[in-house]
Amino acid sequence: MIKRLAILVATVGMFNAQAAQQELDKYLTIGSVRTEVETLTQDGSFTSVMEQELNSNLRIEDLPGIPVEGSVRGEKATIGEVIQIANDVIALGEKIYAIVKKGKPVLNMQYAPISVLPKTAAGQPVDVMDMEGWSIPVSRKIRMVYKNLYGAEVVVFSYTVVYSYGGSMDGKGAFITAAQVVPHDVSVSWGYELNAVMKLVGLQNHGTKANPIAGAIISINYKVETVLKTIETNDSYHITGKGQLIQL
């Protein structure tokens, strides 16, 4: 009788351990990934950064490279290395930079945002402050949501893509400056880790050689890790010198 009871207790214990492991595996397994993109206004335009709260307590003048009237700080838009060259346009900035490390937003304002500018006859980029007609900065909010097999939101990450467009040189062209990703709220549940980076992946000229319209494709790479698995997701966005931002 005692032997049978011991076997029963061991069996129940083993069953409970297996059930607990199965429940933990379901908790640590991503079941779905969703990207929520801010809806455009009725006229198809984007919202001005100046009219938003970025939820990160940043002021527009704090964003790197944004040309601000009455300030020389906009000269920072040309800081950074040449990261890509097309026939008629040249990109400056940092080809890749971190926006989330181990579940924490990276609010390092020392990075160089991306600018897509005309080239001089010598093949050098034009200084952004020598150009005219820059728009006020525009932005678009994006929210990434990861759910586990229970349907619970285990990783949530919100950020904003910010840039200025429409700058011209001697009345010609439409270019891009200070394209960057500003991290907002990050929520990571126990057992999960999130890392995210932004990178420039391509340049285009949507206009002509005499009247270029810059285009840039940026990619946001998200890596979510648990002890069971690593999931990498990419979202790509196409920005143009006419102000368009299209999710690819």
pLDDT single digits (tens) 74-127: 444 445 677 677 777 888 888 887 888 877 777 655 667 889 898 877 777 888
For the four alpha carbons of 52, 110, 163 and 96, in that order, the dihedral sign comes to negative
Instruction: State how far the Cα of 83 lies from the Cα of 138, in Å rounded to an integer.
Output: 23
State pTM to two decimals: 0.74
Q: Which residue has the tokens 């304002």?
A: 109
Phi, psi of 140 (to 5 degrees): -145, 130
Q: Which residue has the higher pLDDT, 201 or 44?
A: 201
SS3 label, residue 236? strand
Q: At residue 42, does pLDDT exceed 50?
A: no
Q: Which residue has the higher pLDDT, 110 or 245?
A: 245
Instruction: State how far the Cα of 174 lies from the Cα of 206, in Å rounded to an integer.
Output: 10
Q: At residue 5, does pLDDT exceed 90?
A: no
Residues 6+ apart with CB under 8 A from 92: 77, 78, 79, 80, 81, 82, 83, 112, 114, 115, 117, 125
Q: Which residue has the higher pLDDT, 113 or 45?
A: 113
Q: What percent of the chain shows pLDDT beyond 70? A: 74
pLDDT single digits (tens) 169-200: 989 999 999 898 888 788 888 888 999 988 99
* Average model confidence (pLDDT) across the chain: 76
pLDDT (0 to 100) of residue 148: 87
